Amino acid sequence: MRFEIVKCHGSGNDFPLIDARGIALDDAQWPVVARALADRRGAVGGDGLLVLQENHGLLRFRMWNSDGSEAETCLNGVRCVARMAFERLGIDRATLHLMRSTVEVAREPDLAPGVYTVGEVAGPAGLDVNEWPLHGEGHEIVARPIARLDPVLAFTAVAMPNPHLVAFVDAIDEAALVRIGTICEAAPDWLPNRANVSFVRVLGPEAIFVRTFERGVGLTDSCGSAMAASAFAAALTGRTEFAREVMVRNKGGLVMARAEGDGMVALRGNATWEWEGAVSVDPATGIAGDLIVARHFNTEIAAWAAVAEASAAA
């Protein structure tokens, strides 16, 4: 199988992206493609695979993690898929249909010179952990410990719509984050569908820093739905304010987020192209090869690098 791809990223969350509107693969084949293309030891590498599809006139977003599992959403990836739809269909706004929800997307003024920017509105955030499911902790978890994860850390559980456990900390202990994320990644009986785990530092009334262990990926520089869930959890617990835009920083860069009291979260962030080309995937071995890069987007890469450097220094 040979695919035309764009290598892209949203806030440092990087992916191969395929326009699959004319591609007929079944749900057993896409995970093979995802594992092959996202394998960082292989020809391309990434945090997962993004796919733009169309079904009866409806634009569809799908995302597979690097382990081949399909995610309910990926808000950094949504912006990249939205950009592809905008450019190839000649539009500047759309509704993308995800696994269990929809998200409104629109072209926005550039966050910084040369940084292609997309706005998205996702939600509503869900607080009922029985829907994940997460067993044995009641219906809601807001700013309280989960003994099976840690006896001290206080978590807030938010579905966006994929499940997130958010803990606000004074300093980010990556070893502890990996330990807790690994427990969730093992899919214990009480958390069969796993969960993303984020440690969040409050930098001020209008800024937070998020570090995430993402299910199916591991420790990641950026996770869009984690940033949205963390922004909502910060407002819910009184650390920031609802209806006030905050800067959400991470190791990959930043997004701007505004959480509302009804659970909706608006994000503004980049959708940056790095290169485009073509690659083959052997369905028998699940290995990607014969990569040809047709074009690098050096101006975009440099524009985002300036934003990420400024964010890291702030």
Q: Do the Cβ atoms of 120 and 79 come closer than 8 Å?
A: yes
Q: Check 8, 80, 184, 223 and give the catalytic one.
A: 223
Q: Is 223 a catalytic residue?
A: yes
Close Cβ partners of 60 (under 8 Å, ≥ 6 residues apart): 52, 53, 54, 96, 97, 98
Going by the DSSP 8-state scheme, the letter that residue 130 receives in this structure is: G
Residue type, 33: V
Q: Do the Cβ atoms of 65 and 212 come closer than 8 Å?
A: no
Q: CA–CA separation, 51 vs 266, rounded Å?
A: 22
Q: CA–CA separation, 194 vs 132, rounded Å?
A: 9
Q: CA–CA separation, 28 vs 15, rounded Å?
A: 20
Contacts 24+ apart (CB under 8 A), 104-111: 105/78, 105/79, 108/268, 111/256, 111/268, 111/269, 111/270, 111/307
Q: Check 8, 74, 80, 184 and give the catalytic one.
A: 74
Tokens 């995430």 appear where? Answer: 212
Catalytic residues: 74, 223
